[in-house]
């Protein structure tokens, strides 16, 4: 019998009621060097099963399909790690598409740098809708997130996010994996890794196409949960909350406080309107220059408001709570 060759990477993908998304993600993985990785799909107690979509890729990918009760994406990743055969675990969200050179880029980087975990940025695919492209811009722009999600190479110690995160399997097991299930579970884990002395890195070329939430309501809800998750993480880990994380709350209070500013003094109101006008114009222009689309540029103003207000409100509500 021939020697069984273990994959270098074990790709772990939690999925919850998103069969079409997981199909598109798996389809993108068929274009890669399949000798490098295996795929483990974890059905997290879905009411709409993805099993039929996953089974279409038997023979096309080295793939496992696991089912479990609903416990959230963090614990689903922990569950799948038990079945992983690769040296490294790679976590993708089910609404991502993976560029063909992803694993080659990561393997080349790991050959040259001794790191325990890594992350990469996300981008908008050319086939995404204008709204999805606008969301992608505001989720990654220095103007809205300060570059902490992978746009800048040096923003302190990099915290990998679970939509595009890799880690040595032995380190993952040593550290006990994710301790939170959904709200900020990746932030908490990355912070815990750094506090324990493990080395992380941002691989800027190892990006994924991230479709994000498709509707304004869904996007606001996601941003709201991010704000809550940041506070939960900050209470559990040293250095979990930095100055940049207060910006959405400051924006939210200032933006929603404009009517009060007018009551206090009209001049204060018009100064505020001017500041926000310059800020929104900068977002629209920067987005336009990146996307070459006037529609995406204008929509980016609205997605920025949804994102910052949603995050700020979630941050504030969780902050004033006495417990998590």
- 191 burial (CB, 10 Å; 0-12 / 13-18 / 19+) is buried
Q: Considering only CA atoms, which of 92, 125, 131 is closest in space to residue 307?
A: 131
Residue 154 pLDDT > 60: no
The pLDDT of residue 147: 59
Both 14 and 146 in a single domain? yes
10 Å Cβ neighbour count for 46?
16
**Does 230 map to a domain?**
no
The pLDDT of residue 3: 59
Residue 2 pLDDT > 70: no
The pLDDT of residue 240: 66
User: What value does the mean pLDDT take over residues 146-164?
Assistant: 66
Residue 321 pLDDT > 90: no
Q: How far is residue 305's CA from residue 251's CA, in Å, rounded to a whole number?
A: 9
Both 127 and 205 in a single domain? yes
Both 147 and 206 in a single domain? yes
pLDDT above 70 covers a percentage of the chain that reads 93
User: What value does the mean pLDDT take over residues 281-287?
Assistant: 95
User: What value does the mean pLDDT take over residues 207-221?
Assistant: 86
User: What value does the mean pLDDT take over residues 281-298?
Assistant: 95
Both 99 and 195 in a single domain? yes
Residue with tokens 């001794």: 114
**Does 227 map to a domain?**
no
Domain, as residue range, for 259? 243-320
Task: Give the chain's domain count.
Answer: 2
The pLDDT of residue 1: 45
Both 133 and 74 in a single domain? yes
- Written as one string, the DSSP assignment of 187-254 is HHHHHHHHHTT--EEE-TT--EEE---SSHHHHHHHHHHHHHHHHHHHHHSTT-S-GGGGHHHHHHHH
Both 286 and 183 in a single domain? no
User: What value does the mean pLDDT take over residues 193-217?
Assistant: 89
pLDDT above 90 covers a percentage of the chain that reads 58
Size of the chain, expressed as the number of residues it contains: 324
**197, 214, 231 - which closes a domain:** 214
Instruction: Tell me the average pLDDT of the chain.
Output: 88
Give, in order, the Cα–Cα distances in Å from 81 to each of 191, 280, 292, 305. 20, 43, 41, 37
Q: How far is residue 211's CA from residue 279's CA, in Å, rounded to a whole number?
A: 25
The pLDDT of residue 287: 95
Q: Which pLDDT band, with edges at 50, 70 and 90, does 323 fall under?
A: low
Q: Of the given ranges (112-126, 222-236, 271-285, 291-305), which has the lowest mean pLDDT?
A: 222-236
14: enclosing H helix or E strand: strand 9-15
Residue 164: which CATH number? Answer: 3.90.550.10
Tokens at residue 22, please?
A: 């997981």
Both 117 and 261 in a single domain? no
The phi and psi torsions of 129 (rounded to 5 degrees) equal -70, 165
The pLDDT of residue 155: 38
Both 150 and 278 in a single domain? no
10 Å Cβ neighbour count for 31?
12
| Residue, of 244 and 120, whose pLDDT is higher | 120
Residue 151 pLDDT > 60: no
The pLDDT of residue 156: 41
**Does 223 map to a domain?**
no
The pLDDT of residue 124: 87
Residue 238 pLDDT > 70: no
Alpha-carbon dihedral of residues 256, 257, 258, 263, nearest 10 degrees?
140
Q: Are 145 and 308 in contact (CB under 8 A)?
A: no
- 127 burial (CB, 10 Å; 0-12 / 13-18 / 19+) is exposed
Tokens at residue 234, please?
A: 């900050």
For 94-148, what is each residue's pLDDT tens digit? Answer: 999 999 999 999 999 999 998 999 999 888 888 889 999 999 999 888 888 765 5
Both 26 and 90 in a single domain? yes
**Does 193 map to a domain?**
yes
User: What value does the mean pLDDT take over residues 264-272?
Assistant: 90
């Amino acid at each position: 019998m021939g020697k069984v060759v273990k994959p270098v990477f074990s790709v772990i993908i939690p999925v919850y009621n998103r069969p079409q998304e997981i199909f598109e993600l798996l389809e993108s993985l068929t274009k890669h060097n399949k000798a490098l990785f295996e795929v483990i799909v974890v059905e997290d107690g879905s009411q709409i099963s993805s099993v039929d979509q996953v089974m279409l890729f038997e023979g096309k990918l080295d793939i496992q399909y696991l089912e479990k009760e609903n416990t959230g994406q963090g614990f689903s990743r922990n569950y799948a790690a038990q079945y992983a055969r690769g040296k490294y675990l790679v976590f993708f969200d089910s609404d991502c598409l993976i560029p063909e050179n992803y694993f080659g880029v990561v393997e080349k980087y790991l050959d040259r740098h001794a790191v325990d975990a890594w992350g990469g940025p996300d981008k908008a695919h050319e086939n995404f809708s204008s709204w999805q492209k606008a969301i992608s811009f505001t989720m990654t722009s220095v103007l809205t997130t300060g570059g902490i999600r992978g746009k800048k190479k040096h923003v302190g110690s990099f915290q990998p996010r679970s939509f595009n995160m890799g880690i040595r399997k032995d380190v993952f097991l040593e550290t006990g994996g994710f301790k939170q299930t959904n709200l900020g579970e990746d932030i908490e884990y990355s912070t815990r890794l750094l506090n324990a002395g493990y080395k992380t890195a941002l691989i800027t070329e190892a990006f994924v196409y991230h479709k994000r939430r498709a509707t304004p309501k869904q996007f606001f809800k996601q941003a709201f949960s991010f704000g809550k998750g940041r506070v939960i993480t900050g209470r559990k880990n040293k250095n979990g909350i930095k100055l940049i994380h207060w910006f959405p709350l400051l924006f939210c209070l200032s933006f929603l406080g404009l009517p009060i500013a007018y009551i206090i003094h009209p001049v204060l109101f018009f100064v505020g309107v001017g500041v926000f006008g310059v800020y929104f114009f900068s977002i629209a222009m920067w987005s336009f220059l990146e996307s070459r689309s006037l529609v995406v540029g204008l929509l980016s103003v609205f997605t920025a408001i949804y994102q910052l207000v949603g995050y700020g409100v979630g941050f504030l509500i969780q902050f004033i709570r006495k417990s998590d």
